[in-house]
Chain A
Amino acid sequence: MGLDFSVVPSYFGVLLQGMGWTIAITIGAGLLSFFGGIIFAVAALYGHWVIRLPMRGFAWLFMGTPLLLQLFLIYFGLIQIGIDLPAFVAGVIGLGLHFAVYNSELIQASILAVDKGQYEGARTLGLSRGQTLRRIIIPQAVRAVIPPMGNNMIALLKDSALVSVIGVMELTLAAQQAISRTYRPFEFYLAAAFCYYIINLALEAGLRRLERRIAASR
């Protein structure tokens, strides 16, 4: 059947829209994984055991199983308990939680590595336990793991393609839609790959700038 890329430009709008959704999912899930990661880390280190133990189990389960399986669990599981979320929201929650677990592991190690003197100093100055964590420990701990969390963010962007499987209309599904009308899978998947590559380059450049700024502010 040979290749014919001349059909691609007429679906430019469809792909562009898909790209927009991919970026939206990445940002939404990225924010969720960032703040979720901090909350999980604090709960895992300082929470009551009633919180801590289920948390460990949850992290263990989410790090040991495939993301695709987790997306199926969240999408169909929520429907089963009567919460019928739009696929987009389920996708953002699934991706966000998955990477929150990985971010949490990084932040936990980083919190433990913050100098003990910082904690003692803050307490001596009259800050409460919560204040010390919020204002002194966590900002330092999070800042130290921005580069590896950035790598997770890049992985998240690429894994966002998986939410097409539960029917979220992002770049991969947009390409599939174009393919179902033109029967040209090679051309459109290649075009989609190209779009991902561009977003990936932009994200990497952004992260490098962020890292430089953090390094400079030290």
Chain B
Amino acid sequence: MDFELILRVYPFFLEAAWVTIELSVLTTILGLICGALGAAARMSRSAILRAIGATYVSIFRGTPALIQLFIFYFGGPQIGIQLDAFEAGVIGLGVNIGAYMAETMRGAIQSVDKGQTEAARTLGMSRWETMRKVVLPQAMRMMIRPLGVNINALIKGTALVAAISVIELTYTAQRYIGSTYKPFEMFLLSGALYMIIIYVVGQGINWLDRKARIT
């Protein structure tokens, strides 16, 4: 184990870890938006919206995220969408994880007891009111943990953008493996940073989950 080397290169890895964090935050936001839209479409009363939602979820969960990323980045210019690698990374990963989050959200919403909806409707609430005031507050609490699982996968998934040369943790590790021939040291250094990020996010999710349970 070459500790001297680790001490020499770790500032570059810290900088790269910030890019990974930025990617993770932006992807989470986009993923939640796509997920909410996807879940709403899948549970909509309109058959067309339901079909669109189902197609979105099926296609993006049924093909590799790496290919989706390549289509956004390399294929985009052909249909007039010019994105830099970071933007393509956020959009590609966000739309991908959104498909998984849509299923998580739908699962949580549908696990709310049907009697709740029936009772609210009987009391004269509209469909939308029932959803907003009765079903969603309960479903939100149930989706925190499973969404945390999605976010954990998403953080590790940001490594994929190394393949389109975004200078984040995995790309940096790969570059330093190439120039130093020390794969174990570089793996441990970048791996430790990933685990710190995942640990902190995990604690945040736990805190949210506990807080949601008390109220």
Contact = CB atoms under 8 A, between A and B. Distances in A.
Nearest to A196: B63
B28 interface: no
State the main secondary structure of chain B at its contact with A.
Answer: helix
Contacts of A61: 191, 195
A201 interface: yes
Contacts of A67: 156, 159
B104 interface: no
Nearest to B156: A66
B78 A201 contact: no
Interface residues of B, number: 38
B71 interface: yes
A196 B78 contact: no
Interface stretch (A109-117, A119-127, A137-145, A157-165): A157-165
A200 B62 contact: yes
Interface string B167-201: 00110011001000111100100110011001000
For A64, A66, A73, A175, the residue with the greatest tally of chain B CB atoms inside 10 Å of its CB is A66
A65 interface: yes
Contacts of A69: 159, 169-170, 173, 187, 190-191, 194
Contacts of A70: 187
A1 interface: yes
Interface residues of A, number: 38
A83 to B, nearest CB: 12
Contacts of B191: 61, 64-65, 69
B59 interface: yes
B202 to A, nearest CB: 10
Interface string A159-201: 1111011000000100100010000111101101100110011
B173 A72 contact: yes
A66 B157 contact: yes
A68 B159 contact: yes
Interface in A68-97: 68-70, 72-73, 76-77, 80
A216 interface: no
B163 interface: yes
B74 A72 contact: no
Contacts of A13: none
B77 interface: yes
Contacts of A186: 71, 74-76, 78-79
A218 to B, nearest CB: 26
B75 A197 contact: no
B67 interface: yes
B78 A77 contact: no
A64 B201 CA distance: 12
Nearest to B202: A64
11 contacts: A64-B191, A65-B194, A66-B160, A69-B170, A77-B187, A162-B64, A172-B70, A186-B76, A189-B70, A190-B75, A197-B63
Given A158-B63, A201-B62, 11 more contacts: A1-B78, A64-B191, A64-B194, A64-B195, A65-B156, A65-B190, A69-B169, A69-B173, A72-B170, A158-B65, A197-B62
Interface of B: 59, 62-68, 70-71, 74-79, 156-160, 162-163, 169-170, 173-174, 177, 181-184, 187, 190-191, 194-195, 198
